[in-house]
Amino acid sequence: MDLVLMDMIARQAKVKVVMLTQTDNSAFTPREAGVLVANLKPMAIISRHPQHPAILLIQGGEWSKDTIAGILGHNRFNHEIVVGLNNPKLPFKPQV
């Protein structure tokens, strides 16, 4: 197997992803995603999926629920840190 590919797979397995899920199953708004991108720059990559509008995935750091709630102005979401871009806990694969 290609050593570069092996390294990439190993790195993807170690990436921490913050998974946010709206507690009332409502969709995260484009404004909420935009505010997170603006405030978590330059490290954060935010992923959304049309089939999972109540979920946002944030990679590039490990932010606490309090930090994210402060940015969004509310804490009506569940917060979970998942390790690995291919982790089966993730409902969809985040952007790479």
- Residue 40 near residue 58, CB atoms below 8 Å: yes
CATH code assigned at 46: 3.30.70
The answer to whether residue 77 is domain-embedded is yes
The answer to whether residue 94 is domain-embedded is no
**Residue 52 bridge partners (DSSP):** none
The mean per-residue pLDDT over the stretch 23-39 comes to 94
User: What span, in angstroms and rounded, lies between the C-alpha atoms of 43 and 45?
Assistant: 7
Q: What are the pLDDT digits (tens) for 33-91?
A: 999 999 997 888 999 999 999 999 999 888 999 999 999 999 999 999 999 888 999 99
The answer to whether residue 5 is domain-embedded is no
Q: Using pLDDT thresholds of 50, 70 and 90, give the confidence band for residue 4.
A: confident
The answer to whether residue 4 is domain-embedded is no
Instruction: Tell me which residue range forms the domain holding 40.
Output: 11-83
Q: Is there a cis peptide before residue 42, judged by omega within 30 degrees of 0?
A: yes
The answer to whether residue 88 is domain-embedded is no
Question: Is 0.75 topped by the overall pTM?
Answer: yes
Count up the domains in the chain and report the number: 1
The answer to whether residue 1 is domain-embedded is no
